[in-house]
């Protein structure tokens, strides 16, 4: 019998994540899952019973990685591309993870969200890896899917953050990953409705400037902002350090996932 996912995606790879704990199918071309999604998952403070919503889920990498770590989640994967959403659904089934996959534009209205069972104050956790490359500074890929996944418009972050604020319950947590030189944009987008902000810089090595920031924020939180020690991907010899290997291998979480938050 023909595999429907394989038939729809003529050029699909099967890749292992979390040290072999998570098997994902993803298109060979276009945006492909990597360290960013796994780091985002490792920074997400989910607990059993939480409703966890991933915006821009792609093939489901980050959300499924959280669900592999934490059982008993009500997981919702939101993706605008119906073909990627089909892969996300297939990936959830292949890994025996219960998830609802919703084809939805994150910037859609509240009524559209509600019709997809994502009404206001309905989620405990939102995680997201929005498109973050500046169109004026970044040479866009000729591949439409890759361009959509990577290139942001001027208001992308603000609109995605607004949607997260609407969906989250009071005390719910938003976790996102963004390019490090855009931290000011992140903080500006979180000014309305969020507090208890935690910032974790991600460095390529011990000598390099941060290339990413992972940021958590609590809806209605009141704790002071915290800038945490940076996370380093490679040791001085250019190899993956022990901490990075543990996190990327699904054996450890990042500090943001350990924080209780101000709820």
Cα distance between residue 12 and residue 10, in whole Å: 6
> For 160-197, what is each residue's pLDDT tens digit?
999 999 999 999 999 999 999 999 999 999 999 999 99
Residue 54 has pLDDT above 50, yes or no: yes
- Ranges 68-82, 119-133, 139-153, 228-242: which has the least confidence: 139-153
Given phi > 0 = left and psi -120 to 50 = alpha, else beta, which region is 197? beta
Phi and psi torsions of 39, nearest 5°: -65, -40
Q: What percent of the chain has pLDDT over 90?
A: 78
Residue 96 has what pLDDT?
A: 97
Specify whether the CB–CB gap between 241 and 234 falls below 8 A: yes
pLDDT at 28: 87
Q: Quick check: 150 and 142 in contact, CB under 8 A?
A: no
Output the pLDDT for position 141: 41
Instruction: Give the span between the Cα atoms of 23 and 96, in whole angstroms.
Output: 11
Query: In angstroms, rounded to a whole number, what is the distance separating the alpha carbons of residues 133 and 29?
Result: 18
32-132+152-254 — its CATH code?
3.40.50.150
> pTM for this one?
0.88
Q: What is the pLDDT of residues 142-159, one digit of tens each?
A: 444 444 444 456 789 999
Mean of pLDDT over the chain: 89
Share of the chain above pLDDT 70, in %: 84
Give the other-Cβ count within 10 Å of 87's Cβ. Answer: 25
d(CA 93, CA 25): 11
Mean pLDDT of 91-105: 97
Q: For residue 19, what are its two tokens?
A: 């040290």
Burial of 141 (0-12, 13-18, 19+ CB in 10 A): middle
Lowest mean pLDDT among 7-11, 190-194, 201-205: 7-11
| Domain boundaries, given as residue ranges, for the chain | 32-132+152-254
Buried b (16+ CB within 10 A) or exposed e, 165-177: bbbbbeebbbbbb
Number of H-type helices and E-type strands within the chain = 10, 13
Residue 105: phi and psi, rounded to 5, are: -80, 125
Residues 6+ apart with CB under 8 A from 4: none
**Average pLDDT score over residue span 249-263:** 79
Residue 130 pLDDT more than 60? yes
């Amino acid at each position: 019998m023909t595999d429907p996912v394989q038939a729809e995606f003529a050029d699909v790879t099967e890749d292992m994540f979390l040290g072999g704990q998570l098997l994902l199918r993803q298109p060979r071309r276009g945006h492909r899952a990597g360290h960013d999604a796994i780091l985002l998952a490792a920074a997400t403070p989910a607990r059993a019973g939480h409703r966890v919503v991933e915006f821009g889920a792609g093939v489901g990498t980050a959300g499924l990685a959280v669900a592999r770590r934490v059982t008993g989640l009500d997981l919702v994967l939101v993706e605008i591309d119906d073909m990627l959403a089909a892969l996300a659904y297939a990936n959830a089934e292949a890994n025996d993870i219960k998830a609802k996959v919703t084809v939805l534009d994150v910037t859609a209205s509240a009524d559209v969200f509600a019709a997809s069972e994502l009404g206001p104050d309905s989620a405990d956790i939102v995680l997201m890896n929005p498109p973050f490359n500046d169109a004026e500074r970044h040479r866009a890929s000729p591949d439409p899917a890759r361009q959509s996944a990577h290139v942001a418009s001027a208001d992308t972050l603000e609109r995605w953050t607004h949607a997260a604020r609407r969906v989250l319950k009071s005390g719910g947590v938003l976790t996102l990953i963004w390019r490090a030189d855009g931290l000011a944009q992140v903080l500006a987008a979180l000014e309305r409705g969020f507090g208890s902000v935690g910032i974790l810089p991600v460095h390529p090595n011990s000598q390099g400037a941060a290339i990413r920031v992972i940021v958590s924020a609590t809806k209605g939180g009141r704790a002071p902002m915290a800038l945490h020690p940076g996370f380093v991907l490679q040791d001085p010899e250019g190899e993956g350090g022990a901490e990075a290997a543990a996190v990327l291998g699904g054996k450890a979480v990042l500090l943001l996932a350990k924080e209780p938050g101000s709820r």
